[in-house]
């Protein structure tokens, strides 16, 4: 995730109603105005030779050494929000915090006391569909560094789609390399294997200017041992254009202190609207770097571990690290998903 002070939260290291069954909610609330711009598609490891290289590259030691990294300067961040302050490069926390009213400050303190970020021990579908994402940064000051995010397998026509955050596939103008998804990651164990991406997709808004309101991405992963991803681990459903302020569950693999990326962590509560710089949804949560791209669910069932993916971990403000924000899943996110689920695996 991104801290609005410019420090990346997502340590780049970001349910199906019946697992394995499509559960896409109709877009009844979608606007019928201008057509949604097409997602940006990037070809990753599309040959068996490249896929073999990615799987070989991610040794246990490289995964353990993947670290959070600093984001580019705050002036590179873009918000398409209607907030009074639009350029985060001019909106340092020291100037934002005083704008909170006494009542808002009191509410902030109360929310902080309710912050959660506990290990998920409930079992169910989420323990197979959620996983860590590993990649190598290709551009900017961190070029060449290995990093990690989080992601989640979802139901799709090609049974091979992972939803994550935009900055987990592209940052500082370049798509990441050696991109792989490890579902069910647990303390170094890879019970369901390592899945290289053949294709990476993101919104045109994230691709053009890293607009935080559209920090959404998908990856199409190659079959492993002749089987597709959701054939092996199942997939969560996806929902778009839904009402805001819903009860939500957020999951991820935070890797920065006090976490170490070894286990699946979650937060739960009613989402709220960001009242500062973005159009994103907010959730009380103290997950740290490495959680970026982890799924947010509505209609989540704690007994089955299944729900409808409706956002992803994206960023935090550095003066309120007990809040976590994720993009609203509207037409742009849906376009990314649709392009990914209809992508060829060959």
**CATH number for position 262:** 2.40.10.120
**Strand partners for 296:** 250, 311
Cβ pair 336, 202 in contact under 8 A: yes
Instruction: Show the tokens assigned to 71.
Output: 């984001």
Residue 306 lies in a domain: yes
* 75-79, 117-121, 294-298: least confidently modelled range: 75-79
Which positions ≥6 away from 286 have C-beta within 8 Å? Answer: 115, 116, 117, 267, 321, 322, 324
Residue 346 lies in a domain: no
**Strand partners for 146:** 136
* 22-36, 79-93, 166-180, 251-265: least confidently modelled range: 79-93
**Strand partners for 183:** 131
Residue indicated by tokens 């799709």: 156
Percent above pLDDT 70 for the chain: 76
Residue 1 confidence (pLDDT)? 64
In angstroms, rounded to a whole number, what is the distance separating the alpha carbons of residues 196 and 178?
A: 7
Which positions ≥6 away from 130 have C-beta within 8 Å? Answer: 150, 151, 152, 183, 184, 251, 252, 253, 264, 294, 295
Residue indicated by tokens 């069932």: 301
Higher pLDDT, 78 or 89: 78
Residue 229 confidence (pLDDT)? 98
Residue 77 confidence (pLDDT)? 44
In angstroms, rounded to a whole number, what is the distance separating the alpha carbons of residues 32 and 211?
A: 23
In angstroms, rounded to a whole number, what is the distance separating the alpha carbons of residues 209 and 10?
A: 18
Mean pLDDT score, 184-205: 97
Residue 45 lies in a domain: yes
Instruction: Show the tokens assigned to 214.
Output: 């559209």
In angstroms, rounded to a whole number, what is the distance separating the alpha carbons of residues 298 and 274?
A: 18
**Strand partners for 197:** 221
Residue 10 lies in a domain: yes
Higher pLDDT, 221 or 141: 221
Assign 3-state DSSP to the chain and report helix, strand, coil percentages, each to 5: 20, 30, 50
The number of C-alpha atoms within 13 Å of 295 and in the hemisphere containing its C-beta is 34
- Would you give the DSSP letter of residue 73? P
Phi, psi of 183 (to 5 degrees): -70, 145
DSSP secondary structure letters along 16-61: -SSTTS--PPP-TT---SSPPPPPEEEE-S-SHHHHHHHHHH--HH
Structural element, H or E, at residue 232: helix 229-233
Which residue range(s) make up the domain with 266? 2-26+33-341
Is the pLDDT score of 89 beyond 80?
no
CB atoms within 10 A of CB 317: 25
Residue 9 confidence (pLDDT)? 46
Mean pLDDT score, 94-123: 50
Residue 39 lies in a domain: yes
SS3 339: helix
Higher pLDDT, 12 or 153: 153
pTM attached to this predicted model: 0.83
Residue 255 lies in a domain: yes
Total domains in the fold of the chain: 1
Is the pLDDT score of 93 beyond 70?
no
Task: Dump pLDDT digits (tens) for 60-70.
Answer: 999 999 986 44
Phi, psi of 345 (to 5 degrees): -95, 0
In angstroms, rounded to a whole number, what is the distance separating the alpha carbons of residues 222 and 196?
A: 6
In angstroms, rounded to a whole number, what is the distance separating the alpha carbons of residues 276 and 171?
A: 23
Residue 178 lies in a domain: yes
CA distances from 144 to 11, 98, 279 (A): 15, 39, 32
* 65-69, 100-104, 219-223: least confidently modelled range: 100-104
Mean pLDDT score, 273-301: 92
Burial class (CB in 10 A: 0-12, 13-18, 19+), 25: middle
Mean pLDDT score, 33-53: 91
Residue 323 lies in a domain: yes
Mean pLDDT score, 95-103: 28
């Amino acid at each position: 995730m991104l801290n609005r002070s410019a420090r990346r939260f997502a340590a780049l290291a970001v349910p199906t109603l019946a697992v394995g069954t499509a559960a896409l909610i109709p877009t009844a609330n979608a606007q019928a105005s201008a057509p949604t711009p097409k997602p940006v598609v990037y070809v990753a490891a599309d040959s068996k030779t490249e896929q073999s290289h990615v799987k070989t590259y991610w040794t246990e030691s490289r995964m353990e050494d993947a670290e959070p990294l600093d984001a580019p300067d705050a002036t590179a961040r873009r918000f398409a929000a209607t907030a009074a302050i639009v350029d985060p490069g001019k909106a340092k926390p020291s100037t934002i915090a005083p704008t909170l009213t006494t009542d808002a400050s009191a509410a902030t303190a109360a929310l902080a006391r309710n912050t959660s970020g506990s290990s998920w021990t409930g079992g169910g579908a989420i323990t197979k569909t959620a996983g860590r994402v590993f990649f190598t940064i290709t551009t900017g000051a961190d070029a060449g560094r290995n990093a990690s995010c989080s992601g989640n397998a979802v139901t799709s026509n090609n049974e091979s789609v992972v939803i994550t955050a935009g900055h987990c596939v592209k940052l500082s103008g370049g798509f990441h390399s050696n991109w792989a998804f490890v579902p069910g990651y647990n303390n170094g164990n890879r019970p369901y294997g390592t899945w290289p991406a053949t294709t990476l997709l993101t919104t045109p808004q994230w691709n053009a200017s890293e607009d935080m309101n559209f920090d959404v991405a998908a990856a199409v992963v190659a079959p492993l041992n002749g089987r597709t991803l959701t054939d092996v681990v199942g997939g969560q459903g996806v929902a778009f254009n839904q009402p805001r302020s819903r009860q939500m569950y957020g999951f991820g693999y935070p890797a920065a202190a006090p976490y170490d990326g070894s286990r699946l962590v979650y937060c739960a509560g009613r989402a709220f609207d960001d009242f500062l710089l973005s159009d994103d949804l907010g959730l009380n949560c103290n997950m740290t770097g490495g959680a970026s791209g982890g799924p947010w669910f509505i209609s989540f069932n704690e007994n089955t571990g299944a729900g409808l993916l409706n956002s992803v971990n994206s960023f935090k403000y550095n003066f309120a690290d007990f809040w976590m924000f994720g993009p609203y899943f509207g037409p742009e996110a849906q376009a990314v998903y649709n392009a990914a689920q209809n992508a060829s695996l060959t």
